[in-house]
Structure 1
Amino acid sequence: MSTLDLRPAVRATAAVVAAVPEDTLDRTTPCPDWSVADLLDHLGGLAVAFTMSARKQPLGMTSGPEVDGSRLEDGWRDRIAAALHELGDAWATTPGAFEGRTEAGPIEMEAGEAALVGLNEVVVHGWDLASATGTPYAADPAAVATCRAFVESFDAPGANDGSGLFGPRVSIADDASDLERLLAAVGRRPDWTP
């Protein structure tokens, strides 16, 4: 697990964040009930949370994060992109980041698993954001393969009815790409458009 490098994935998602057109903030996203602004707020928050997770610094959260796109301030592109880069750097440079247990938001888990959860969030939400805004997304193939193996390694309760960690799995073509297979496994329709 210590060879997992989140930096290529965060670079790809940070590039999408930096290119989000201002006039797309109110658009819908593949995330139910979230606008583009809400998704950006979530990305900024998860970047901070998983950076602290790598450093074994508790957030002191008792429940999941609240998402509110109205909190986006002037300069949000730079702030969120910088937070994403810090996330990747924290997992790459913090001694012992992948060892022991850590917090991921309000949940305690093995550090290596937290890194995988964070990576999956970055990769999938990078696609969500790109799809909602019409922004190009160059998903890192190694990150996609790692996320796909992680998501498909367990049959989470509710995987087919939407009551689990993700939405109901989506059927896709036999010749689907790794990214499309990952998206389908987490309940996304790869052909989704706003």
Structure 2
Amino acid sequence: MRIDRGALDRHRRAVEGSVAVVARVTPSDLGRPTPCAGWTLADLLAHMVVQHDGFAAAARGETTELADWAPRPVGDDVVAVYRKAADGVVGAFGECAPDAELWLPEVRGGVGVPAPTALGFHLVDYVVHAWDVAASLGVASSFAPDDDVAAHALAVARQVPDGAARTVPGAAFAPALAEDGGGAPAQILRLLGRDPAWAPDGS
């Protein structure tokens, strides 16, 4: 028995959407600013790779430490490194039983995150991070997740607690921004503290 096929398909397409955006990155882009305060594109991609690896390990039933989730430089061959990590996490979730409880040290201290919940967390992260990369490259307007992926990510984003926890160093998301209309992708970004109008030149 495996996680619901529809959920796995949405997750795969969310991750593949991020792969398509990362494929546009060149070594000369790695110093670009990103919507993640204080992070260059190289920093963001290192984070994305280690998160893929960490979630994949959790889906395989492995127990990791917080240190295992610390981003490491990925080098200039970032597209290939990223693709390998993305393939790994999609494959690991595809083999994960729906009643499994995943060890995620960054979430609830690592204790007992149900596999479908972890899948949803990972999906929304990569809808948002794909946009982060696209925005850093100045091509955010060309990025759009599939409608059903965006709808699912929006439902997950609405469940992410807001408040003071988002202001501490290392918080996964900044405090939510005020609603300002727009479709599901824009709503997701605002709920998770992103400004849909962010641009790398600050305009």
TM-score (norm 1): 0.85
Q: 1:95 to 1:185 in 2, by over 3 A?
A: closer
The C-alpha deviation readout for 1:11-59, integer Å capped at 9, x for no partner, is: 110011111132221111111111000001011111111111222122x
Q: Does 1:104 align with 2:104?
A: yes
Give the number of equivalent residue pairs. 187
Structure 1 residue 152, shift from structure 2 partner: 0.7
Q: Does 1:90 align with 2:92?
A: yes
Indicate the larger mover: 9-18 or 131-140. Answer: 131-140
| Alpha-carbon distance in 2 for matches of 1:21, 1:74 | 8
Q: Report the counterpart of residue 171 of structure 1 in structure 2.
A: 178
Identical-residue share of aligned pairs (%): 26
| Alpha-carbon distance in 2 for matches of 1:13, 1:165 | 18
Q: 1:154 to 1:130 in 2, by over 3 A?
A: closer
Q: Report the counterpart of residue 62 of structure 1 in structure 2.
A: 66
Q: Is contact 1:184-1:190 (8 Å) kept?
A: yes
Q: Is contact 2:157-2:192 (8 Å) kept?
A: yes
Runs of 5+ consecutive residues of structure 1 not aligned to the other structure: none
The C-alpha deviation readout for 1:148-167, integer Å capped at 9, x for no partner, is: 101213544437x7356521
- Superposition CA RMSD, Å: 2.2
Match of 2:14 among 9, 28, 31: 9
Q: Does 1:150 align with 2:156?
A: yes
Equivalent position SS for 1:193: coil
Q: 1:52 to 1:158 in 2, by over 3 A?
A: same
Runs of 5+ consecutive residues of structure 2 not aligned to the other structure: none
Q: 1:62 to 1:90 in 2, by over 3 A?
A: closer
Q: Is contact 2:74-2:81 (8 Å) kept?
A: no
Amino acid at match of 2:13: P
Q: More helix by proportion, 1 or 2?
A: 2
| Alpha-carbon distance in 2 for matches of 1:177, 1:86 | 31
Amino acid at match of 2:93: W
Amino acid at match of 2:99: E
